[in-house]
Structure 1
């Protein structure tokens, strides 16, 4: 029996139609829900997200504050310059021409580096830092000239045959640091690196104050990342840095640098330093070092240290000024003190001599200073208990920070504790066995010149904001370290150093009373055992009876002779004379006291 043939049953059209409409309604409801969410429920967050997708941040660099001398003369300032950037997606077709142009206009650059950067697979590349506006104008003019020639050649050609134009270079503000006086004060001021941050000196130490705060701009950009003209943007304005006005006098600084350079070369020394301090205020009006450097020129291995604060050494006999001031304040000595001084003295089995051979000398205490007798100083120092002596040294600033907060500054080296062996006390009394920096030693001598009152050194006089308003920079508090009577007695002893019979006639200044002290100290050094080098120095003040300035001169390891009087004395005389004349300090007219050196 045969089966009946199969037949295809047709679907129900009404059901299919209803299902189609249902699916369409569901999809449309999803779109409607999304639209309600975007426009009604939370439109702001989605608008913000869309804006972020189409905006680009740009840094607005703050103007770096200047560094000025005490009279407002600029020592370090920021000048307009630009960073050249590129969009390699635009520059790749013309990379060869642009690389050649940039290399010809920017010294110290290479074609290969520019070409590689201009063909990178990215939208942004920094090509050159701190390019002067003049150089960029030359580059822009050459681009316009070449593009005009290209446009002329392209006339009448089909689009696919036209040569591409030189496009895709841009600029950003990138100020350059300039030093109008070149090397003057460079070791104090320091330098700024390519990234606009201080690398040494006050540029480093005051970087946060000088830098200010960068701002930020958010610009709408097109799909290629380019700014859209007249589109909305937001700007957070940069905050300019403050300027620092120093206590340095650029004229005196220049003279001191030239004079110490001459001395270093004359005596074949490794280096030299001159510090000049205002007696009453503690302001450092000169801080000169040689060798130095010119921060406007490429730095090739030069030391960026400020030796006046960063180098320590044993001060030698200049330290006797402090020893005698402490003894006088404690009533252990006076101008009437008389000593019998043998040619040598043994302390804890070590024999100590003077710098000159002699038998027993009958010296007054002024004679001990005038002749710079180590033996006489040791004998006098034994009158004071060691802990009391140590306290005086700390009061005078030894082993303590100067308060300048200069980057890299050393606090010097003092023997630990206050129960020193007798040998330590003896050597420290005449300037061996402790280490100082030049500013510490200047400030200690300044306390004697200032009637026994220690004034903390000061280097930054005040700050100046972007509106020209002064912001005070108060110094630390002064303190009395010895009595006025003791200070005057020591000043009188020091005057004998520059008079007949003293060790530094070369430091005398005609018409002025000058108080001073020589120093010649042994030092350790690399490549030898024990003491193998020397530091020679001279410290003094004038007018001795009404002091205005203290000047301290140090030569490190002179190899063409050795002596604080004939090496440091003439530098002191010339620098001090310059300072007295510039600041119109007249001689007092008083006669130098006639203090006997022997008895």
Structure 2
């Protein structure tokens, strides 16, 4: 017995004396646990502070199935399924996994619901404090705002683009717990406080965004179109007042939507613009001095270009047209004739100056650059078709920027979508103004404006865009639509771009309807959307009519 006791004594000396620190560290590792303290995500608001994305407190519920008595499993399955909005089959499957110590039951649980379940004393139920993301406006600017995944990271739109600002930094807490996972009282803990995310204020106006979405959705349905887009932009600042897509993504049900709905088509979808692009050809011709608004062309209804014969939208006998009349009536042939006097290189440089072929700045998520082939690689017919918007591809955002430049006296301003953010103290910090670049002279911009005003007049293709009491300048567009899935041209893109008041521009509105089945001209499909949205916007912004009338201009040859 003395020998045996000496062995025990030696082992005790080894454990408590020689190896005590090793065992003490191992025990501490078993007791110490690090708990994450989530940061509260910042809000996304419209220009007036109305919430578009907010974070509220929630709970994450988990259970240890091994501690739920088999006899009570059916009872607790019913209770949990009812309170959490899950099926009994789903909950029963989790509780049946008795070989595990942890099963996640639900995230984003309302604190009141979690409190009721804890009071009901569901065995081994634990609740962890978290946050959940809510979108009070549903599908309003859905694909622009984006959404947050289960891990708390932005997965699209502004949520992803500004994730670093919005997310903040999680904190942590190290505590000592017993075998049952409960904290041991009176033990030490170490806590690093979380840093909450900052708010992001957009330039979007909630009311105008709603009107734009309503109008484009109605037109998409009536025309049997695939999709549509509307952009409203402030002329002087290039701030985006509305960026609407139809149909739009419902942020409160984003998991049920197809992946194609996640794309902000207004900034990402690329298409051939058609006749809305003729303002750039006009700008190149006026800047080069080869053509002015009163230059007269002898215009047939077709023109040969390399191996192709290009035609106007409607057949007509050869007629004398002023360049202003050609723009108002959207003559492809006259536009090609003017472009030939400009030359491919100068036209290409003008397209570049207006922003084609480069991604717009200003922080718009998913903004694409479009496609502008080098003029040296243009085919024989492409050197003509580019003049009227075929053979070059843009986004709706890029085309809206073109008309902002004309309306702003020839000065292009980098489009802006973020009005500012809050700093760590909660003070609002405005975003820097967009970069300003002069593209064409003020004289050229004014001359083009008179042409665009004629295009909305009695002899123009954009008559349905006219707004009683207001002077409107704009241009229709009807282009063959390239279908990437089919690998060929199929259907049309109908569009209208313009601004008002024409003599003192405040707002630009661009509307695009993709692949309509009932009609296809921009003047009949996109112009009415422009009128609806612009009318609502100028009333919402309290923009009064200027009271002036359009000056008399020569529209027809011989006048």
* TM-score, length basis structure 1: 0.87
Aligned with residue 121 of structure 1, among 94, 99, 102: 99
- Cα separation, 1, equivalents of 2:469 and 2:317: 36
- Cα separation, 1, equivalents of 2:378 and 2:94: 67
Which deviations, in whole Å up to 9, do the C-alpha atoms of 1:425-448 show, x marking residues without a partner?
Answer: 211110000111100100011111
* Preserved contact between residue 43 and residue 200 of structure 2 (Cα < 8 Å): yes
Which deviations, in whole Å up to 9, do the C-alpha atoms of 1:393-450 show, x marking residues without a partner?
Answer: 1111111101144443321111135453442221111000011110010001111111
- Cα separation, 1, equivalents of 2:254 and 2:371: 35
Cα drift, residue 460 of structure 1: 1.0
Cα drift, residue 187 of structure 1: 1.6
Q: Which residue of 2 aligns with 1:96?
A: 74
* Preserved contact between residue 295 and residue 323 of structure 2 (Cα < 8 Å): yes
* Preserved contact between residue 249 and residue 257 of structure 2 (Cα < 8 Å): no
SS of the equivalent of 1:297 reads: helix
Larger radius of gyration: 1
1:439 aligns with 2:421: no
* TM-score, length basis structure 2: 0.93
Q: Which residue of 1 aligns with 2:213?
A: 257
1:219 aligns with 2:196: no
- Cα separation, 2, equivalents of 1:101 and 1:440: 55
- Cα separation, 2, equivalents of 1:169 and 1:30: 40
SS of the equivalent of 2:253 reads: coil
Cα drift, residue 511 of structure 1: 1.3
SS of the equivalent of 2:294 reads: coil
- Cα separation, 2, equivalents of 1:548 and 1:572: 15
Q: Counterparts in 2 of 1:33-48, with a 5 A limit?
A: 35=17
Cα drift, residue 264 of structure 1: 1.1
Cα drift, residue 298 of structure 1: 5.8
SS of the equivalent of 1:81 reads: strand
Aligned with residue 287 of structure 1, among 243, 247, 272: 243
Aligned with residue 86 of structure 1, among 63, 70, 81: 63
Q: Which residue of 2 aligns with 1:134?
A: 112
5+ long unaligned stretches in structure 1: 1-16, 145-165
SS of the equivalent of 2:276 reads: helix
SS of the equivalent of 1:509 reads: coil
- Cα separation, 2, equivalents of 1:454 and 1:368: 25
Q: Which residue of 2 aligns with 1:31?
A: 13
Root mean square deviation of aligned Cα: 2.5
Q: Where do 4+ consecutive residues of structure 1 move more than 6 Å?
A: 23-30
Distance 1:138 1:297, change over 3 A: farther
Aligned with residue 189 of structure 1, among 119, 122, 145: 145
* Preserved contact between residue 92 and residue 119 of structure 1 (Cα < 8 Å): no
- Cα separation, 2, equivalents of 1:189 and 1:116: 35
Which deviations, in whole Å up to 9, do the C-alpha atoms of 1:81-129 show, x marking residues without a partner?
Answer: 1110123343355433322211122223333544434643333332111
SS of the equivalent of 1:383 reads: helix
Q: Which residue of 2 aligns with 1:155?
A: none
Distance 1:451 1:48, change over 3 A: farther
Cα drift, residue 546 of structure 1: 0.9
Q: Which residue of 1 aligns with 2:31?
A: 54
1:566 aligns with 2:524: yes
Q: Which residue of 2 aligns with 1:413?
A: 371
Aligned with residue 535 of structure 1, among 480, 483, 493: 493
- Cα separation, 1, equivalents of 2:6 and 2:431: 77
Q: Which residue of 2 aligns with 1:496?
A: 454
SS of the equivalent of 2:381 reads: helix
Which deviations, in whole Å up to 9, do the C-alpha atoms of 1:223-256 show, x marking residues without a partner?
Answer: 3332123422111111111111000000000011
Q: Which residue of 1 aligns with 2:507?
A: 549
* Preserved contact between residue 294 and residue 554 of structure 2 (Cα < 8 Å): no
Distance 1:180 1:337, change over 3 A: same
- Cα separation, 2, equivalents of 1:392 and 1:590: 32
1:105 aligns with 2:83: yes
Distance 1:181 1:65, change over 3 A: same
Distance 1:418 1:456, change over 3 A: farther
5+ long unaligned stretches in structure 2: none
Q: Which residue of 1 aligns with 2:43?
A: 66
* Preserved contact between residue 144 and residue 157 of structure 2 (Cα < 8 Å): yes
- Cα separation, 2, equivalents of 1:223 and 1:267: 66
- Cα separation, 2, equivalents of 1:401 and 1:517: 23
Q: Counterparts in 2 of 1:186-335, with a 5 A limit?
A: 186-297=142-253, 299-302=255-258, 303-335=261-293
Distance 1:111 1:329, change over 3 A: same
Cα drift, residue 31 of structure 1: 3.3
